[in-house]
Every structure is written in structure tokens, then in C-alpha cells.
Amino acid sequence: MKKEKIILFDLDGTLIDSTDAIVSTFYHTFKELEFDFDGCDKDIKDLIGYPLDIMYKDLGVDDSKVWDFVDAYKNRYRVISKEKTTLLENAYEAVALASQLGRVSVVTTKTRMYTMPLLEHFNIAQFFEIVTGRENVQNPKPHPEPILITLEQMNYDKNLHDVWMIGDTKLDLIAANAANVNSIGVLCGYGEELELREYTNFIQKDAFSAINFLKNLKNQN
């Protein structure tokens, strides 16, 4: 019996480009809370995909003040996220095509509070069955919990479903491996190809290329 496909998308760097929104919000919080940040944009970009508290700690913020920065970040990000975020090229087409191949959900470390307005803003919310955000899990990616919780809500059965996680960083791929599902690394976001290849055999240019790969795979089966 042919298995039904379940396709899980990461968000930042896979479907959307929120680099400007994220980086500018970090600088805003540094200024607001008078933190002397001696790094550069790349230091922030290299951490995109991790939870905010981890990012701030790695950027030098004291543990005791991290959650003040996270709160300040959320207050600012809520205001500027739509304005400074763009849908990646062919991302709409990728999600639309994916929904024709199987069932589709989002697994992101961004909170649903910010994810849902962005998905609606870009007119792609209707394609997703489940949207799992940071507040829905105890352990974010690279832990498998976000994927496993999403699959549980989708009534996943390993005998009936063929699952693919599509993401742009090693966090997505490590989580997929730990959840024992297939993965495709995409090069339209924050991860480097050499690093992604350590965790998956499948690399594509972007989400649309990844879905076309799955479409061709389906046609061969």
C-alpha cells in the first residue's frame, strides 16, 4: 500500500526571510536595556533557529537578565515583524504544491503568536494542518519533541505515512533524525551546505525544489 506523505516545514529561512526583523529587534533590545553588545550581525544570524533565551545567553547577556531581553524582544518584534519579513521566492508555490502531494504542517521555534499572523499575512495559513510553535513544546529543535508532537496531532502511523521534514539548519535535520523521519536540507536560509550534509543525504536549493524532489519521488514509486 502506498503511504500518504506528511510534509513538515520549518519557517525562518525555509519559507520566510525574517533576518532584518530579527537582527534589528536584537539591536533594539540591546539599546533599550543598555547592553554593550560587541559582536556583529553575523553573530546574531548564526544563532537564528535557536530559542531566544539561548541566543541572548550566547551573545553574552547574563543569565539573570535573559528573560527581560526576551520580553523586550517580543514586544518589539510584534510591532515590526510583518513590515520587515518577506516570503522567500517560490515559497508560496512550494507550500501549495506540497498540499497537493500530502498533508502539510509547520514546525518552528518561533512562537505561534507571531507565526500565525505571518502565515495569514502571506496567505499560506490555509495550507497547514498543524502549526507547532515554541510555546507548544518543552524542548525545541534539535530535540525531536516538536516533530513528534506535530505527528501525534496528525494521527501519524508509521505504517501509513511517509514523513519529510524540510528545513534550512542543522537543528531541523538533527530533530528529524532523532524523530526517525526523512529530511531535506535547503540552501535558502541560514545553514551552510557542508554542515547540512552531515545530517541528511538530501539537499535542495529551496523549499520549492525540495517539494519537486518529493513529487518526482512519488512519481517513481
Average pLDDT over residues 138-151: 98
Alpha helices in 59-90 (DSSP H): 66-80
Q: Which three cell numbers stand for residue 35?
A: 547592553
CA gap 147, 108 in Å, rounded: 9
Predicted confidence at residue 220, as pLDDT, reads 55
| Residue 54 binned pLDDT confidence (cut-offs 50, 70, 90) | very high
Average pLDDT over residues 72-93: 95
| Residue 218 binned pLDDT confidence (cut-offs 50, 70, 90) | low
- Find out whether the peptide bond into 142 is cis, omega within 30 degrees of 0: yes
CA gap 121, 147 in Å, rounded: 24
Residue 209 has pLDDT above 80, yes or no: yes
Q: What percent of the chain has pLDDT over 90?
A: 95
List the domains of the chain with CATH numbers. Answer: 4-17+86-220 (3.40.50.1000), 19-80 (1.10.150)
CA gap 156, 20 in Å, rounded: 36
Residue 57 has pLDDT above 60, yes or no: yes
CA distance to 12, 128, 169, per residue, from 120 (Å): 15, 11, 24
Q: Nearest 5°: phi and psi at 183? A: -145, 155
Entry pTM = 0.93
